[in-house]
Structures are given as C-alpha cells and as structure tokens.
Amino acid sequence: MTDPTSENWAGRKVTVAGLGTFGGQVAAAKFFVRLGAKVTVTDRKPREALVKGVRELESSNVRFVLGGHRKEDFTNADLVVASPAIPEDNRYLAAAEAAGVPITHEMDVFFSLCRAPIIGVTGSNGKSTTAALLAHILTRHFERQAGPDSRSVRLGGNIGRSLLLEVGGILPGDVVVL
C-alpha cells in the first residue's frame, strides 16, 4: 500500500472489516477517522461480543454494522481494512476485490508509514514474551546512551497495542519491536 496520508481521505469511505480483540482494527478505524474518512466497522459478531472495541469507537463518528456483514459495505468502499483473522478467500473480500476496491491491513498501513527500523518477532509460541523482553533490553541499552545517540523503543503488535496511532511520532532513529 502506498502512503495512506498522501491521499485525501476526507469524505471517502473506509470499511474496517472485523473489529477483533487485539486493538489493531480499532486503531485503523480511529486512524482513518482522523484523516476525515467515513468509516464503517463491520463484524459477524454481535455488539455484546465486541463491547470493548465498540466502546472505544462510539465517540469516533464510526458507523457500526454488527452481527453480520453487508456486501455493499465492501463493494461501495474506497478501501477495506481487513482483520488478519478474516480468511483471504472470504466472500466479502472477494466481492470488494471484484469491485476494484483495494484491500489492506492495519499492519500494512503502519509499515507504509513507519520511518524507523522494525524488528518483527514471529512464530507459534512465545512471541509476546520475546518481543516484550527484546523491547525491555533495547530500552535499557538506549537509556545508557544519552545525547544524540539516544533512541526510543516502541513495542506493539498483537501484544495488545497497535502503534498505528503513534506512527507520526516515531522517528527514523527509533526502534520498533512487533
């Protein structure tokens, strides 16, 4: 995805598909609201199952379609931000693609904007522990280097914290651990 801030999103339609539980989709919705987009958040789960995310977005002028998806929310959008939990062969994503609507993910938007080096931790088990430990070690290391070599370390990802809303404040000399 190209830099989403290079486009004028004022009044454009963004569908955030799958609210999720890790915070990335909430951050994506808030991010595009800040850019002036008309954001629709849609999820198969009912409102009662998504209380935390809905509560975080209620004051953000977001339209909710919960308890099921509607094809038109995908085909009439200017962009779909899909949860990584939605399979690529999902019929609503296929409909968006057939309609020429670009599909991206919260992390793709972050990667396109982040100017700092990113350390990615992947695997089946121990990712959160490893990422948190690595961020702690790097933070302690950089705390000892005062002056122009000082760096900030940011920890995010599915550890419960999206960095998308902070990406503008992440400097090229900082380090991101995901």
Residue 17 burial class via C-beta count within 10 angstroms: exposed 0-12, middle 13-18, buried 19 and up: buried
The pTM assigned to this predicted structure is 0.90
Tokens read off for 53: 């995310």
Q: What is the pLDDT of residues 54-72, one digit of tens each?
A: 999 988 889 999 999 999 9
Count the Cβ atoms, other than its own, within 10 Å of residue 69. Answer: 21
Q: What is the pLDDT of residues 122-155, one digit of tens each?
A: 998 999 999 999 999 999 988 877 666 678 999 9
Count the Cβ atoms, other than its own, within 10 Å of residue 81. Answer: 28
Query: Which domains, from first to last, does the chain contain?
Result: 4-110 (3.40.50.720), 114-177 (no CATH)
Question: What is the bridge-based pairing of β-strands 38-43 and 63-66?
Answer: parallel
**4 secondary structure, DSSP code:** G
